[in-house]
Amino acid sequence: MTYRLHRHEALRALTREMIVKAGWTEDEAAETAHHLVLANLSGHDSHGVGMLPLYFNSLTDGNLKPSSKAKVRVEAAPFLIVDGNVALGQPTASDAVRHAATMAQSGGVAILNLLDAHHIGRIGHYAEIAAEAGLISFFWVNVAGRPPIVAPFGAKQARFGTNPHAIGIPVPDNEPIILDFATSRMAHGKARVALNKGVPVPPGFIIDGEGRPTTDPAHVFQHAIPGQPLGALLPFGDHKGAGLSLIVELLSAGLMGAARIDEKPQKTWVINSLFGVLIDPARLEPDAGLRKSRIESYLAFVRAAKPQDPADPVLAPGDKERATRIERAKTGIPLDDETWAQIVAAAARFGIDAERF
Ligand code: NAD
């Protein structure tokens, strides 16, 4: 499988044009394009422009509609509950998090539940929005509208989504700490990237439909193994990741009756519900200088640990994504031929020649 390098500006322009042509507003298109391309720049190709074909399938099947918009159900500080109404995920979740951030800035804390948005992408993006507003944030997100794809600890069958978890801590006058991961050992989108590239995944990440370990990513995509039972991704950290995934499902969607992983999917969409807590750190330690020096001295202590491999320095959460952004802004974003072909086909449905970008 070969790659081509794409300029981030070109991918952003293409994504904007596709989303506008499909019927969304310029603002919604700009927010979505910014989010998807930033995911690629950050090294998370699983949540970048490669998601566009899925979104456009969902659109042509009439499941994702430009006319669907989120609506605030409850705004009673510190609580903000937003019905996502399966609206385009990235602008919906960004707006909800910005709204919650305003509440946390004035009241010290906000508790956000966004229910039933379409796929909202890279969850660390929302921790970054909160950090830019000077806030600590915690986010947990379920993944419904798809069959379960992650096995509980010790199970041969899937019962969870990849239910991501993200935490952001702002550092005054410095880059924030952003911890952001799927509760499966590997994000499903990363298995899709491996499938498109035609490469195996590392051992210990996937089981097949009989519960046997495999490195073939086809086992977690029904279309790639027609007629065979679907396999599963394994949870990270064994029983610990599995337990966290269960809690995420209940907190984000289960409590409020939003779409859950155990409802039989009937449509070509991915539904995310998000539970978030945003906290103003100044309510804990009002002196920004002290907050900065306390966090930075601890980060320096951690980063100074002797690395196993001298070529691979010890990192803090968020360091890798920042370094990859600098690198890819210079060299370009690699997209494999299969992913690019899917994007070209999705764009062509709206009369756009993606090769022009
Ligand atoms: P991952 O395994 O790459 O882990 C990323 C986290 O680990 C980041 O915080 C990163 O800074 C940190 N990290 C990476 N390497 C490190 C190192 N060497 N030292 C210290 N820290 C390091 O992430 P993932 O589980 O593959 O998730 C990828 C993305 O998928 C995330 O952005 C997640 O939000 C997203 N996701 C979204 C959905 C959805 O439905 N919307 C579902 C699942 C995952």
pLDDT digits (tens, 9 = 90+) for 79-101: 999 999 999 999 999 999 999 99
User: For residue 136, which phi and psi values (nearest 5 degrees)?
Assistant: -75, 145
- Strand pairing of 79-83 and 109-118? parallel
The amino acid at residue 197 is K
**107 alpha carbon – ligand 1 mean position (Å):** 30
Banded pLDDT at 264 (limits 50, 70, 90): confident
Instruction: Judge whether 19 and 64 are in contact, CB under 8 Å.
Output: no
- Please report the pLDDT score of residue 189 as a whole number: 83
**Whether residue 303 has its Cβ less than 6 Å from ligand 1:** no
Average pLDDT value for residue range 38-51? 95
**Whether residue 187 has its Cβ less than 6 Å from ligand 1:** yes
CA dist 168 and 57 (Å) reads: 33
Banded pLDDT at 204 (limits 50, 70, 90): very high
Average pLDDT value for residue range 299-305? 97
**Whether residue 120 has its Cβ less than 6 Å from ligand 1:** yes
- Please report the pLDDT score of residue 74 as a whole number: 98
Q: Cα–chain-centroid distance for residue 341?
A: 23
Closest by CA position to 127, among listed 172, 79, 166: 166
Fold of 1-66+316-357: Hypothetical Oxidoreductase Yiak; Chain: A, domain 1 (1.10.1530)
State the average pLDDT for the chain. 96
Q: Which residue from 47, 54, 181, 252 has its CB within 8 A of the most atoms of ligand 1, so it is best to mutate?
A: 181
**70 alpha carbon – ligand 1 mean position (Å):** 27
**Whether residue 315 has its Cβ less than 6 Å from ligand 1:** yes
Average pLDDT value for residue range 19-28? 97
Q: For ligand 1, atom 40, which residue shows the shortest CA distance?
A: 143
What pTM did the predictor assign?
0.96
The percentage of residues in the chain with a pLDDT greater than 70, rounded to a whole number, is 100
Q: What is the 3-state secondary structure (H, E, C) of 287-307?
A: CHHHHHHHHHHHHHHHHCCCC
**What CATH number was assigned to the domain covering residues 196-234?**
3.30.60
Q: For ligand 1, atom 13, which residue shows the shortest CA distance?
A: 317
**Whether residue 190 has its Cβ less than 6 Å from ligand 1:** yes
Task: Judge whether residue 1 has pLDDT over 90.
Answer: no
Task: Judge whether residue 180 has pLDDT over 90.
Answer: yes
Domain range list for the chain: 1-66+316-357, 68-184+235-304, 196-234
Average pLDDT value for residue range 296-312? 97
**342 alpha carbon – ligand 1 mean position (Å):** 24
CA dist 298 and 221 (Å) reads: 42
Q: Which CATH architecture has domain 68-184+235-304?
A: 2-Layer Sandwich (3.30)
**Whether residue 144 has its Cβ less than 6 Å from ligand 1:** no
- Please report the pLDDT score of residue 187 as a whole number: 87
- Please report the pLDDT score of residue 183 as a whole number: 97
Task: Judge whether residue 104 has pLDDT over 80.
Answer: yes
Output the DSSP codes for 229-245. PP-EEPBTTTHHHHHHH
CA dist 116 and 253 (Å) reads: 8
User: For residue 148, which phi and psi values (nearest 5 degrees)?
Assistant: -55, 145
Banded pLDDT at 184 (limits 50, 70, 90): very high
